[in-house]
Structure 1
Amino acid sequence: MTSSLLSDLMNLNLSESGEKIIAEYIWVGGSGLDVRSKARTLPGPVSDPSKLPKWNYDGSSTKQAPGKDSEVVLYPQAIFKDPFRRGNNILVICDCYTPAGEPIPTNRRAAAAKIFNNPAVAAEEPWYGIEQEYTFLQKDINWPLGWPVGGFPAPQGPYYCSAGADKAFGRDIVDAHYKACIYAGINISGINAEVMPGQWEFQVGPCVGITAGDQIWAARYILERITEMAGVVLSLDPKPVKGEWNGAGAHCNYSTKSMRNDGGYEIIKKAIEKLKLRHKEHIAAYGEGNERRLTGRCETADIHTFSWGVANRGASVRVGRDTEKEGKGYFEDRRPASNMDPYLVTSMIAETTILG
């Protein structure tokens, strides 16, 4: 009875009582990976981020400001429909500034926006498709969902794109997330079970420029909320289990207008050569703990050596057969870890390949 009433109250349709809506302001915390949020009431529906009020929070509690000067200001940047409260309620992706209007050190969106607003970059209309891999962990023991406590399942092989109670673990959470992202307005393009049991992937894209980062962060936030309700822990660790188990990446599919036009394959090859020259810089920005994943085994390239190839999932960069055949298209940077910051990765790829 109490549970039923609680559910009813959570699903109240606010439009029946007036114009007021709830806006959930979301930002990236001090670790660069933790998503934080808080809600506020607004007098009516809003569809333009510039019409939303700026807000502030205690940065000393998120490791983003000292206690003696703790105010950090939230600038609304992107709006999504709220799949939890529904109606006209919204999720708001924000970035963070000092009261003087300077981006705080962990605000990677501001630097990315400068790159994407560069006329040379904007003219190339960079498209991104990001494959976000992640792992479900059993609460309190930090061991993958579906794995025997203190033990291991059968070796990899039957789990990738699998079906069955002994092979696919957490599908209800995954499907709930899929539909919630579509409802929110995120351009989620697919899902699949991954090679390691308890590990899944969703894909977002194609997205143009800065919107790729906004949509990945919104999708991550929604997944955090759904796993919270399910009592399961979401892990973006790039190598959650040692040994011959696949790690978790965030492969970044990328193209520019020049690459998508006739003769684009030659542009792609030149871009890959530019990536090779800055391999160490990219690796340093592609996620914490990535050295545990990029070992040259389990469908990865060695972290110390840049390589590329057609249809080669053991390379740093993979070019698809269709791109080779058609002489234009996109390529896939397979180096980013699952815990990468999408603002940093997408803008860095554009900067290297377009601005040189």
Structure 2
Amino acid sequence: MWSTTNKLKSDASLLEKYMSLEQPADKVQAMYVWIDGQQGLRSKTRTLPAVPESLAGYPKWNFDGSSTNQSEGRNSDVYLNPVKVYRDPFRGDPNKLVLCETISFDGKPTTSNTRRSCEQVMNQVADQVPVFGIEQEYSLLDGTHRKTPLGWPIGGNPGPQGPYYCGVGANRVFGRDVVEAHFRACMYAGVNICGSNAEVMASQWEYQVGKCEGI
């Protein structure tokens, strides 16, 4: 009988096959990424003939904002304004991730575009050097039992808190392969990730980004 596991392995093999095909020298994939009306992420990809020499070389684009809760149906065009470019760790060089702000059909920032108001504040203190850093904590869930944290016994609890924080060993930390892949992908892309560590709960992790200047 064809199992789900076998199907997943087959799908992964097919994906690897096609992703290993030689990329044409005159084609670059630029994935435009933006924040939608529910504070989620959206993206779509366009082909460019070459890697632009600067941010200005990435063309503005548009999408149907009525499908992302960012416009009404009668005036649904929302425009993507590129603001930052990173190397694409998913597709590899020379492809790019293009982070964008969203602009309504009338030229005004959408309600979800909080970057524009932040930029206005930054411009008011242009003679100073604002420095930012973030940290994000997250927990990994078991892929089969979606409500169970990774590494926890089904229907039970792991051992008491203590050995997991900054822990080492297969019986103390869970999901390190995901953490290592994420760290390397951030460095490859050009994200200024500065650290990561296991947290106090089994399967809980944290990473830090910064310091970063300005917007």
Instruction: Return closer, same or farther for 1:5/1:42 CA change in 2, 3 Å cut-off.
Output: same
Could you give the per-residue CA deviations for residues 24-47 of structure 1, whole angstroms, max 9, x where no partner exists?
001112222x21111110111124
The 3 A distance-change label for structure 1 pair 86 and 67 is same
SS in 2 for 1:153: coil
Q: 2:35 and 2:71 mapped to 1: Cα distance?
A: 13
Letter in 2 for 1:103: P
Change (3 A) 1:3 1:186: closer
Q: Which residue of 81, 84, 91 corresponds with 1:78?
A: 84
The separation in 2 between residues aligned to 1:63 and 1:92, in whole angstroms, is: 21
Q: 1:114-153 counterparts in 2 under 5 A? A: 114-118=120-124, 121-139=125-143, 141-153=146-158
Structure 2 unaligned residues grouped into runs of 5+: 1-9
In structure 2, distance between residues paired with 1:29 and 1:196: 32
How far does residue 3 in structure 1 lie from its aligned partner after superposition? 4.9
User: In the TM superposition, what is the alpha-carbon distance from 1:159 to its structure 2 partner?
Assistant: 0.8
The equivalent position to 2:21 in structure 1, one of 12, 22, 43, is 12
2:176 counterpart residue number: 171
Aligned residue for 1:161, secondary structure, equals: coil
- 1:272-313 Cα distance to aligned partner (Å, 9 max, x none): xxxxxxxxxxxxxxxxxxxxxxxxxxxxxxxxxxxxxxxxxx
1:30 aligns with 2:37: yes
Per-residue deviation, 1:200: 0.9
CA distance in 1, matches of 2:53, 2:206: 29
Distance 1:206 1:197 in 2: 28
Per the alignment, in what secondary structure is the counterpart of residue 99 of structure 2?
strand
User: Is the alpha carbon distance of 1:138 and 1:116 closer, same or farther for their aligned partners in structure 2, counting shifts above 3 Å?
Assistant: same
Q: Which has the higher strand share?
A: 2
User: Is the CA contact (8 Å cut-off) linking 2:135 and 2:208 kept in structure 1?
Assistant: yes
Superposed CA offset, 1:231-290 (max 9, x none): xxxxxxxxxxxxxxxxxxxxxxxxxxxxxxxxxxxxxxxxxxxxxxxxxxxxxxxxxxxx
Q: Distance in 2 between matches of 1:122 and 1:82?
A: 30
Provide TM-score, normalisation by structure 1: 0.54
Identify unmatched segments of 5+ residues in structure 1.
Answer: 211-356
SS where residue 210 of structure 2 aligns? strand
Matched, 1:58 2:64: yes
Query: Are residue 90 (structure 1) and residue 96 (structure 2) matched?
Result: yes
2:167 counterpart residue number:
162
Distance 1:110 1:95 in 2: 8
Task: State the 1:5 CA deviation.
Answer: 4.9
| Alpha-carbon spacing, 1:168–1:47, altered in 2? closer, same or farther (3 Å) | farther
| Deviation, structure 1 residue 129 | 2.0
Please give the per-residue CA displacement for 1:294-346, whole angstroms capped at 9, x wherever unaligned: xxxxxxxxxxxxxxxxxxxxxxxxxxxxxxxxxxxxxxxxxxxxxxxxxxxxx
Instruction: Work out whether residues 37 and 111 of structure 2, in 8 Å CA contact, stay in contact via their aligned partners in 1.
Output: no
Q: Which amino acid aligns with 1:155?
A: P
Aligned to 1:192: 197
Q: Tell me: CA distance 1:102–1:195, structure 2 relative to 1, closer, same or farther (3 Å).
A: same
Give the aligned length.
205
The percent of aligned pairs where both chains have the same amino acid is 49
For residues 106 and 2 of structure 1, what CA distance do their matches in structure 2 show? 36
CA shift, 1:123, in A, is 1.9
Partner of 2:73: 67
Task: Give the Cα–Cα distance (whole angstroms) in 2 for the partners of residues 198 and 208 of structure 1.
Answer: 32
- How far apart are residue 49 of structure 1 and its match? 2.0
